[in-house]
Amino acid sequence: MKPGVHDEAWSALGAWVIGACEPPETHQITAHVDDCTDCQAEADRLRGAVDWFGAGQPVAPPAGLRERVLSAALAVRAPGQPIRGRLLDAYAGQAREFAAVLGDLTDRQWAAAVPHHGDVAGLVAHLARNDRPVLAALDPDAAAADEAVREGAAGWRAQSDLLVRRLAADDGSALDRLVPLAGAGALRRPVREALVQRTFETWTHADDIRRALRLPVRPAGAADIRMILDFGLGLLPTALTGLGIAHPGKAVRLVLRGSGGGEWEVPLATGAGAVRVATVTADALDFCRLMAGRQPVETLRYGVSGNADVVPDMLRAASTLGCD
């Protein structure tokens, strides 16, 4: 059996044992396990663990289990897809969603009121302006050739498509170039982080337009949510310090439930040596929308154990991480 097939089967044995794989994957893993003594032994060990937890009999997997397993696997093991590829897929996916929302908007819909940006047309122009520094880092010549942000859906889409093409063609060397992030802080961060922000902002503004047009909002996928949370929580100590509400030497364990969630140890100030003083639990999607400024702090549902005094400052800082 090819090493790559063995590695893929080995990494998915836990899901296979509890019946959480899709039929084609189940067939492939079953065929491999029949011929591989190492995988047979590992499968037997995992079945014993399943029995110990009281789930020895096959049961229908909970809704969303496969998505959570795959998201966790991407975060833990090095996949075949490079980091650049994951960033490309995330941004390109949200750009497609945004383009689908724009669709064939009527003049009246382009004039629909949108908070912070006047109307839909103003929001699209704002998004295009925020995308341009990343495009400039990937292709300085293309950015210099067209200094004015092109207006309307066609202009934004042409620029977005060019950004995707340049990222796909890059060998990864551009990902470490520093560019200004969108937002009031004007932080300079590597292109790899700026692309996560572009993904975050594109998703956020697609939902802004959906709300303006009275359409249902759509959550990002689990992998995108996890990427966005990693990005935003990495900036949180800087945001706390910049707002003058940091708590040096203290940290919060943040437990976010639901699609794309996980656990983070978040220092409440820049610098090292933080000691955990509280644990906060909340919904991962709600926390993303808090970071985007779309979920008010006062309406966020969360639980706290430990020193609750530091939590309002942490949430206030998190709510400033959007790009408006």
User: pLDDT for 128-148, tens place per residue?
Assistant: 999 999 998 888 776 555 544
Predicted confidence at residue 10, as pLDDT, reads 76
Predicted confidence at residue 74, as pLDDT, reads 42
Q: Which of 3.30.70.3450, 1.10.10.10, 3.30.1050.10, 3.30.70.3270 would CATH assign to domain 222-318?
A: 3.30.1050.10
DSSP-assigned states of every residue in 72-116: HHHHHS--SS-HHHHHHHHHHHHHHHHHHHHTT--HHHHT-EETT
- Angle, CA of 244, 246 and 247, to the nearest 5°: 145
User: Tell me, what amino acid is at 50?
Assistant: V
d(CA 204, CA 94): 9
- Least confident range from 73-77, 228-232, 254-258, 289-293: namely 73-77
Band (pLDDT 50/70/90 cuts) for residue 295 is: very high
d(CA 290, CA 216): 18
Q: What is the pLDDT of residues 27-67, one digit of tens each?
A: 678 878 777 887 787 777 777 655 444 444 444 555 455 44
Residues whose CB falls within 8 Å of the CB of residue 275, separated by 6 or more in sequence, listed in order: 249, 250, 251
- Least confident range from 5-14, 233-242, 257-266, 277-286: namely 5-14
Predicted confidence at residue 151, as pLDDT, reads 63
Predicted confidence at residue 1, as pLDDT, reads 40
User: Tell me, what amino acid is at 39?
Assistant: C
**CA-based torsion, 148, 151, 154, 160: positive or negative:** positive
**Residue 32 structure tokens:** 């491999």
Predicted confidence at residue 85, as pLDDT, reads 83
Contact 94, 206 (CB under 8 A): yes
Taking residues 284-307, what's their average pLDDT? 96
3-state secondary structure of 34: helix
- Least confident range from 75-79, 150-154, 214-218, 318-322: namely 75-79
Predicted confidence at residue 143, as pLDDT, reads 57
Predicted confidence at residue 4, as pLDDT, reads 60
**pTM of the complete model:** 0.74
Going from N- to C-terminal start, the domains of the chain cover: 3-61, 83-212, 222-318
Predicted confidence at residue 67, as pLDDT, reads 46
Radius of gyration of the chain (CA): 22
* Mean pLDDT, the chain, whole residue set: 84
Decide which of 153 and 313 is more confident: 313
Q: Residue 282 belongs to what H/E stretch?
A: strand 275-283
Residues whose CB falls within 8 Å of the CB of residue 207, separated by 6 or more in sequence, listed in order: 217, 218, 294
Decide which of 3 and 243 is more confident: 243
3-state secondary structure of 161: helix
- Kindly state which CATH superfamily the domain 83-212 is placed in: dinb family like domain (1.20.120.450)
Residues whose CB falls within 8 Å of the CB of residue 51, separated by 6 or more in sequence, listed in order: none
Taking residues 285-290, what's their average pLDDT? 97
d(CA 65, CA 88): 25
DSSP β-bridge partners for residue 304? 280
Predicted confidence at residue 273, as pLDDT, reads 84
Q: From the centroid of its chain, how far is CA 2?
A: 33
Taking residues 225-252, what's their average pLDDT? 96
Of residues 243, 238, 242, 217, the one with CA closest to residue 98: 217
